[in-house]
Amino acid sequence: MYDIDIKGDIISDDDQWIYDWIGWSYTSAKNVINKLKEANGQPVRLRVNSPGGNVFAASEIYTELRNYTGEVNIEIVGLAASAASVISMAGNSKMSPTAQLMVHNVSTSRVEGDYRVMDHMSEVLRNANETIANAYVAKSGMSMEQALELMDHETWLNAQRAVELGLVDEVMFENNNKPNLTNFKNLQLYNSCTSIPQELLDKIKESQPINKDEVDFFIKQKAQAQLNILKLGGKINE
């Protein structure tokens, strides 16, 4: 498995030098593409913890991942917000139970002009929203309208909700959290035996004959099971 980190801001290739100079974490399309070339078709695992960033850089990364010849596995380990959520739609995905995924509308601060410019930019942003929503629709099977509604409300999702919506395939460690059914059944059996008189348990332990008037076969089996549990727990010595 070849690991690729999607950390920090999602930035354009031209801004890399600034982040390198300052020492900030970042993800660029150029770096991800180079990593995919190094992986050379072997399975890759993307570990995502990013607040998002440049929508066009995210689109390029998403497209490269979808085109990759090997298996793409995505683990959302912290935050997959905005542009990072788009990248997270590009393969088989898991999400940490402590992580979050956030989707919202595309925005810009680089515009000035009269009402015609503003109207035009509004259309540009609406169109950009639909292109981003395509990633959510392709991953989950939800409708375009549903995806756009989630974006309109800047929706924050925990792992369970993201799985319910189909934006993530599974919650990490879910299988590890399943209860030990064997221990649970033993506990139920132990609790069901606590009402059996102690003298009866003593008789069974000492292999003394038991009168049918005292206890039926079913109760005897339960009592013997309790003794076995107590032995396993070190409560009774042979």
What are the catalytic residues?
A: 82, 104
- Residue 59, classified by CB atoms within 10 Å of its CB into exposed (0-12), middle (13-18) or buried (19+), is buried
Closest-CA residue to 72 (of 82, 80, 64)? 64
In angstroms, the CA 221 to CA 227 distance is: 10
Q: How far apart are CA 79 and CA 130, in angstroms?
A: 22
In 13-109, beta strands by DSSP E:
26-28, 44-53, 72-81, 92-95, 100-103
